[in-house]
């Protein structure tokens, strides 16, 4: 059994993106606790848009943004608006570590959707990987998901389902990007996607805007998740898709939970159970098999 490894330039962007996206769960939790789910997602993409749009215009890429606005706006709804709202909602009742571990299923859903949509049919170990990955999700959900409201009125079962909906959206958007967005500069794709997400979330965010004034900490958390975890991160992400394709780009979610668990433990004093770690390992192993990152090669004679 061998594990394929990325080249060094790809690995640098990959590692940086994992560290950045790992922190997004922390910042979303800090923001959502005061803003609520939909305003958190709306402010996040609005800040990202304000950060990215001047970069696109400054580099003379405005015409390409206008040319491809329909495609990039649509991917923004699938890849940002819906997932960000789902995770912001989930983080109101589950930990950053648990949500990030569920997020590690993204490449598995990506492989499944690519099978259905792009006819990228898995064989052998990849099919086994899908089964192992889904088993890991089932074990984790069985232990952590409950549809009975807790003392705060939150039910972890709905939060887990929200995370899975977000993961499916990420998988759909990866295949969509491979089919319709190849050749478009990553900065244009990132900017168009955040503009589309901003338009999609504008009215829901305003409708559910909190009656109280959020604290400076909450605003700074959304500023960080908007500029760093969205604006900068999506430039890196679409660059990776251009370089190595969606399947391997999505494997960044294998590493992001490590950072998320560390951030949650250090800054929020969140507990990390052995069962969470075990299920996370099962999910990652299954996903690595399902994406072809682990293959069986015959030994040379």
**pLDDT at residue 3, rounded to an integer:** 46
- E-only strand ranges, the chain: 2-3, 294-295
**pLDDT at residue 253, rounded to an integer:** 77
Cα atoms found within 13 Å of the Cα of residue 23, Cβ hemisphere only: 17
Q: Find out whether 85 and 201 touch, Cβ atoms under 8 Å.
A: yes
> For the segment 193-220, what is each residue's pLDDT rounded down to a tens digit?
999 999 999 999 999 999 999 999 999 9
**pLDDT at residue 218, rounded to an integer:** 96
Q: Rounded to two decimals, what is the model's pTM?
A: 0.84
Domain extent listing, the chain: 2-295
Cα atoms found within 13 Å of the Cα of residue 34, Cβ hemisphere only: 15
Element spanning 15, H or E: helix 8-35
> For the segment 24-68, what is each residue's pLDDT rounded down to a tens digit?
999 999 999 999 999 999 999 999 999 999 999 999 999 999 999
DSSP β-ladder status, 294-295 and 2-3: antiparallel
Rounded to the nearest angstrom, the gap between the alpha carbon of residue 100 and the centroid of all alpha carbons in its chain is: 9
Nearest by Cα to 227 from 20, 19, 16, 8: 20
Nearest by Cα to 79 from 61, 55, 106: 106
Q: Find out whether 214 and 100 touch, Cβ atoms under 8 Å.
A: no
**pLDDT at residue 130, rounded to an integer:** 75
Low-confidence ranges of the chain (pLDDT < 50): 1-7, 299-301
């Amino acid at each position: 059994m061998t594990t394929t490894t990325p080249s060094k330039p790809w690995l640098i962007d990959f590692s940086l993106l994992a560290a950045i996206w790992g922190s997004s769960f922390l910042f979303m939790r800090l923001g959502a606790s005061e803003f609520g789910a939909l305003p958190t997602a709306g402010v996040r993409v609005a800040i990202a848009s304000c950060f990215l749009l001047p970069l696109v215009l400054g580099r003379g890429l405005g015409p390409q943004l206008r040319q491809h606005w329909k495609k990039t706006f649509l991917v923004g709804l699938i890849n940002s608006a819906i997932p960000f709202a789902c995770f912001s909602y989930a983080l109101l009742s589950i930990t950053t570590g648990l949500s990030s571990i569920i997020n590690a299923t993204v490449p598995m859903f990506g492989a499944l959707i690519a099978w259905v949509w792009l006819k990228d049919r898995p064989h052998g170990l990849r099919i086994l990987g899908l089964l192992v990955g889904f088993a890991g999700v089932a074990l984790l959900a069985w232990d952590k998901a409950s549809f009975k409201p807790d003392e705060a009125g939150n039910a972890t079962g709905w939060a887990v389902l929200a995370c899975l909906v977000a993961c499916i959206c990420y998988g759909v958007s990866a295949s969509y990007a491979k089919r319709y967005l190849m050749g478009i500069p990553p900065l244009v794709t990132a900017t168009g996607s955040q503009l589309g997400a901003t338009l999609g979330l504008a009215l829901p965010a305003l409708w559910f805007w909190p009656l109280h004034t959020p604290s400076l900490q909450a605003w700074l958390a959304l500023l960080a998740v908007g500029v760093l975890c969205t604006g900068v991160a999506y430039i890196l992400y679409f660059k990776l898709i251009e370089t190595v394709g969606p399947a391997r780009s999505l494997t960044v979610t294998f590493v992001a939970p490590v950072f998320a668990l560390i951030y949650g433990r250090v800054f929020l004093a969140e507990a990390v159970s052995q069962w969470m770690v075990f299920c996370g390992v099962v999910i990652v192993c299954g996903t690595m098999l399902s994406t072809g990152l682990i293959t069986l090669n015959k030994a040379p004679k």
